[in-house]
Amino acid sequence: MQDKLTLMIPGPTPVPETVLKSLGQHPIGHRSTEFQAIVSKTSEQLQWLHQTKHDVLTITGSGTAAMEAGIINTLSKGDKVLCGSNGKFGERWVKVAKAYEIDVEVIKANWGEALDPEAFRRALEADKNKQIQAVIITHSETSTGVLNDLETISQYVHAHGKAIIIADCVTSLGACNVPMDKWGLDVIASGSQKGYMMPPGLSFVALSQRAWELQKKSNLPKFYLDLNPYKKTAEKNSNPFTPAVNLYFALESALEIMQAEGLEAIYARHARHSKAAQTGMQAMGMPVFSAKGCGSPAITAVAPKNIDAEQLRKAVKEKYDILLAGGQDHLKGKVFRIGHLGFVNDRDILTAIAAIEATLYSLDLLESKMGAGVEAASVVLNEKN
């Protein structure tokens, strides 16, 4: 039905009306004092979200642009890095590093399983000559709905003494606790269409002092993604290139809403929704794709047995105007993914479970008693935190 679509994909995520109204204002000059005030405010808001005292720089581009910027500003040609890979995005960062002739050792886990922190510990401890310059980790692997143990891996990286840790927090920031300074994360990249509750088009990258030291030595060619002019202009609340001014309006507005809710409440909401989605799916006999205990707070991937995931996904969209995400690469047709990231309330989760259950029922594919999914989800949603 026209204008009735509900997005339950891991991005773009739903956007509050307040944020859309901010977005749709007339643009202003990006070198004006009025815009500098917005840059100043959003910079502080971003530091709040990242739990950091370091500058969080805003790039007009996708999350990939921010992640590439993080990699190519801190590393140099021939540098050795460890890159975790247990899904599409882990694979992407391997490709980025190789495109710049960085020497990549890939530490893999099966899609659906979490990266093993011990594998990183062993590789880092074995590196007696301190050849490893960085470890690249995808915190929440969007393609599989798996949350990797970034905190533990970061501890091992710091024990190494030389390597920095570069983290793709695109679908974890604003969904679960990612305290940049406390965990000693050296580079964090994220994108606006995720936990930020705003449309795509802005991405964010923050560097620690250690990372800025490496940036001075980095010899990889770049211009639009060279973070040095971003840092210099950020000091004057400005940007090196014309930024997406209207998306800044939306950013300010969205972060105000997030600040009013508070970080702890945001994380609790995402944890509750993740558990409700997983529990609801399992109650209707639909296996969760991520291994036990490592489900992402942002996305639940489901791998139905004997059911074409794409057929189910399309039926839910057609009948109930809820857009679920499909599987990516070799998971296409085998999994569907429920996004519960950003501007999502308990009603949205209950609705998604009910719509999936009703669709399976109507297709004569429901293996459990009708209502078991909604019942299980509602119990979780009503648990005290």
Q: Which of 193, 253, 274, 378 binds a second copy (CB under 8 A)?
A: 193
**Is residue 11 part of the contact set for a second copy (CB under 8 A)?**
yes
**Is residue 243 part of the contact set for a second copy (CB under 8 A)?**
yes
Residues in the chain: 385
d(CA 32, CA 59): 18
What SS3 class is residue 172? coil
Q: Which helix (H) or strand (E) holds 262?
A: none
Q: Which of 18, 40, 51, 64 binds a second copy (CB under 8 A)?
A: 64
β-pair type (187-191, 164-168) = parallel
Residues 96-125 that bind a second copy (CB under 8 A): 96, 99-101
Q: Which of 126, 161, 223, 235 binds a second copy (CB under 8 A)?
A: 223
Q: Which of 225, 255, 360, 374 binds a second copy (CB under 8 A)?
A: 225
Residue among 11, 8, 13 nearest 313 (CA) = 8
Q: How far is the CB of 339 from a second copy (least distance, A)?
A: 10
How many CB atoms lie under 10 A from the CB of residue 42?
A: 23
| Residues 163-192: x where in contact with a second copy by CB under 8 A, - otherwise, as a string | ----------------------------x-
Residue 167 carries which side chain, given as an amino acid letter? A
User: Judged by CB, which is closer to a second copy: 153, or 316?
Assistant: 316
Beta bridge partners of 100: none
User: Judged by CB, which is closer to a second copy: 94, or 281?
Assistant: 94
Residue among 231, 226, 218, 176 nearest 56 (CA) = 231
**Is residue 263 part of the contact set for a second copy (CB under 8 A)?**
no
Structure tokens at 151: 């905190």
**Is residue 241 part of the contact set for a second copy (CB under 8 A)?**
yes
What SS3 class is residue 329? helix
**Is residue 242 part of the contact set for a second copy (CB under 8 A)?**
yes
d(CA 126, CA 333): 41
- Which residues would be at the binding site for a second copy (CB under 8 A)? 3, 5, 7, 9, 11-12, 14-15, 20-21, 23-32, 60-65, 68, 95-96, 99-101, 191, 193, 199-201, 220-226, 241-247, 323, 325-326
